[in-house]
Structure 1
């Protein structure tokens, strides 16, 4: 056992201040994964590029971040978790400053790539540092507090990004990280520098690293650009897919046979890690994919502003924040699998409520299921993380947290792409079916055209155009209902994944990981 793990947990104000410092770094990281989304049109206009080119601001961050996250275990053993954590924060601050002053798109993309890469270790190490400094009996409470960061960051990001961009300048969505990051780094270094884990020189798995960069980068770009390039009708998308598949296969074989792999894939041999990681990845993919669709639908078909649509989805964080400390007290006394099951059932109920959305729905009926979704969110992250990390030896915690975080973030990216593709395809299908009813022999259709003519004074062509707009709005609504229905079913289907794991309670099952 390392010296860091032999130290007693922090207490009182030091524990609270340490948790705040770690939490600020984690929140800053999660926030930056989504804060730039609503600012892309503004950034593109200011830098003189198209919006399609501007979306690379999101893509390069996600790709660099996805590559860096699973390297956390190897980097921790090489440099020590406290040094790595503080260095990552300071580099993140530097990269954020470069993003804010970037005068052109290529320089902004380079800074965003650096920002995404150095952010990779922050979320996994946040979990690891919290577990090492809280009493083992309160490990579940620590994870519950951390869950607030994970679930509220993507929700606050679009709203905060829209407000900052409209009120000040897009540069400030990056500059805001500078004081927050410096405060976090100062607090963590002051309180944790004497709790450093031992480091040792490890050979660099250059082939494994190259294959990781290749398959993750190719897959991330393929997912992000597939819709714009019409998916597999594009040679670019086909080539990227082939590269991703081949590189991934070679990566798995190499990492399982190399003496010093860059990513420890043997973690998947453990039932708890396998079941918990697959379940949290699929669930987060569903959650994040539907979360992205809602603001798009509200802006495109209900006429909401970017800021208003962000605020309409923000209430999801209310019960998530309120429920986190309650979850922390409940989890040590309860089987984590039971709570995880309740979370998935809660998600299914919320998604089923949304299948009753309709064109012209008022804001309150949009907000209600969003508000209630905060309840399963509070029950979701901490129990599954408990299952994933239960029984892990201390030296394996950073690697396990890093690999599971990578799978979750990757699941979110896949979920976003899949949700957008399904919505587009189902909208086209429903539009085609509805349009088939537009016949001169259909009295409903002819009556609607008469209505347009008599009340609005529209001619035949204008009436057809308005009818098509109405049909498109209905088709998009029906497609969104289809996705919510599928999401509800999927949440119930993945419940058995939780039950292939061994029982774990927040206080006892996490003892090895906590100390």
Structure 2
């Protein structure tokens, strides 16, 4: 009698010794490829801002939405990774995140209006958000503990080198053809990663033990969106002399109050605010906040400044943005060296 394997028979997380060497290498390549593509799109989009601004007939603050809302969507959706993995399994969450990210990247290139571009950029950030946290988890599960340092180094090196290559090639394609091809070039590689992950990752069983705090998730999303709208449209609408800005401010404050009060009273909040009582954790968040402000602000402002006031071509802008990736690569290797002292 032939035996059948059901979902209940599958392990929730396969043991590291269950993988062959070839399968581990394939998992490493495909996982690194998917996560590198996701990290690369951020710098590619910043390189394309001047061309996209002209095509969409948008102002500089309007076209910046294509960057800022993508980052915000990623920030909001990343904490849902644990719930998604528990609900659908790590394998399905990873491969379909890569697939959805690739499809939304294609739709970004096909967008013919600012509204469509911003919408697809939001979906791109939200649907691809689980890729980075799941990538590290999958690699650490697939390799034995003695190889974790090596695998982590390979993963980190690839992720920081990707942003060097992406803006350079994207800027060159946008100058030779148009900005849409910088998005199109990611699509075949994304589908390759999707197919490779489907072949390499073993089936796992969803644990189903996690519950998503929808009240906290929706209230935080609303608060962040409201603040972003106020900051983006405030100057053009004369701030609080505008009824729209007053409404958006009220909604943002109300949603943030709901988020804080709910997070402090529910047993399993979307984000556990009590963790801020840990001094080291709170200090780490402050440093990350400062890093984000210093890192992402020039990415939005620098490309339009270089094109409109310095007259730089798109290919040269891409090389300048790629230089940030070179700095990140040097910083990565410096951190490894200093960590061994």
Taking the aligned partners of 2:305 and 2:104, their CA distance within structure 1 comes to 33
Q: CA offsets per residue over residues 125-150 of structure 1, 9 Å max, x none?
A: 12222232233344344333333455
Distance 1:310-1:187 versus aligned 2 partners, 3 A rule? same
Taking the aligned partners of 2:134 and 2:233, their CA distance within structure 1 comes to 31
Quick one: which of 238, 243, 251 aligns to 1:243? Answer: 251
Q: Does residue 219 of structure 2 align to residue 211 of structure 1? A: yes
CA shift, 1:89, in A, is 0.9
CA shift, 1:87, in A, is 1.0
Q: CA offsets per residue over residues 169-212 of structure 1, 9 Å max, x none?
A: 33222222321111112222322224x36421655533222202
Distance 1:79-1:159 versus aligned 2 partners, 3 A rule? same
Q: Tell which deviates more after alignment, 32-41 or 162-171.
A: 32-41
Is the Cα contact below 8 Å between 2:69 and 2:122 reproduced in 1?
yes
Quick one: which of 278, 299, 309 aligns to 2:286? Answer: 278
Structure showing greater Rg: 1
Taking the aligned partners of 1:17 and 1:328, their CA distance within structure 2 comes to 25
Taking the aligned partners of 1:43 and 1:302, their CA distance within structure 2 comes to 18
- The RMSD of aligned alpha carbons is 3.5
Aligned to 1:220: 228
Quick one: which of 186, 189, 192 aligns to 1:177? Answer: 186
Q: Does residue 34 of structure 2 align to residue 25 of structure 1? A: yes
Is the Cα contact below 8 Å between 1:141 and 1:329 reproduced in 2?
no
Q: Please list, as runs of the form range in 1=range in 2, the aligned pairs for 1:384-399 lying within 5 A after superposition.
A: none
Q: CA offsets per residue over residues 91-148 of structure 1, 9 Å max, x none?
A: 1122222233334444333333322220121122122222322333443443333334
Quick one: which of 110, 117, 130 aligns to 1:108? Answer: 117
Aligned to 1:191: 200
CA shift, 1:326, in A, is 7.4
Distance 1:60-1:150 versus aligned 2 partners, 3 A rule? same
Quick one: which of 100, 118, 129 aligns to 2:127? Answer: 118
Quick one: which of 323, 329, 335 aligns to 1:315? Answer: 323
Q: Which has the higher contact order (CA 8 A, sep 6+)?
A: 2
Q: Tell which deviates more after alignment, 216-225 or 77-86.
A: 216-225
Taking the aligned partners of 1:53 and 1:320, their CA distance within structure 2 comes to 28
Is the Cα contact below 8 Å between 1:298 and 1:309 reproduced in 2?
yes
Q: CA offsets per residue over residues 303-350 of structure 1, 9 Å max, x none?
A: 43343233134334346446756755774x45xxxxxxxxxxxxxxxx
Q: CA offsets per residue over residues 464-506 of structure 1, 9 Å max, x none?
A: xxxxxxxxxxxxxxxxxxxxxxxxxxxxxxxxxxxxxxxxxxx
Q: Please list, as runs of the form range in 1=range in 2, the aligned pairs for 1:493-504 lying within 5 A after superposition.
A: none
Aligned to 1:354: none
Secondary structure, aligned partner of 1:8: helix
Distance 1:273-1:25 versus aligned 2 partners, 3 A rule? farther
| Structure 2: runs of 5 or more not aligned | 1-10
Distance 1:319-1:140 versus aligned 2 partners, 3 A rule? farther
Is the Cα contact below 8 Å between 1:100 and 1:175 reproduced in 2?
yes
Taking the aligned partners of 1:266 and 1:197, their CA distance within structure 2 comes to 31
Is the Cα contact below 8 Å between 2:80 and 2:212 reproduced in 1?
no
Q: CA offsets per residue over residues 326-382 of structure 1, 9 Å max, x none?
A: 755774x45xxxxxxxxxxxxxxxxxxxxxxxxxxxxxxxxxxxxxxxxxxxxxxxx
CA shift, 1:151, in A, is 4.1
Secondary structure, aligned partner of 2:43: coil
Q: Tell which deviates more after alignment, 276-285 or 88-97.
A: 276-285
Quick one: which of 152, 157, 163 aligns to 2:172? Answer: 163
Taking the aligned partners of 1:155 and 1:224, their CA distance within structure 2 comes to 29
Taking the aligned partners of 1:248 and 1:146, their CA distance within structure 2 comes to 36
Secondary structure, aligned partner of 1:17: helix
TM-score (norm 2): 0.79
Q: CA offsets per residue over residues 427-475 of structure 1, 9 Å max, x none?
A: xxxxxxxxxxxxxxxxxxxxxxxxxxxxxxxxxxxxxxxxxxxxxxxxx
TM-score (norm 1): 0.55
Is the Cα contact below 8 Å between 1:216 and 1:244 reproduced in 2?
yes
Distance 1:272-1:129 versus aligned 2 partners, 3 A rule? farther
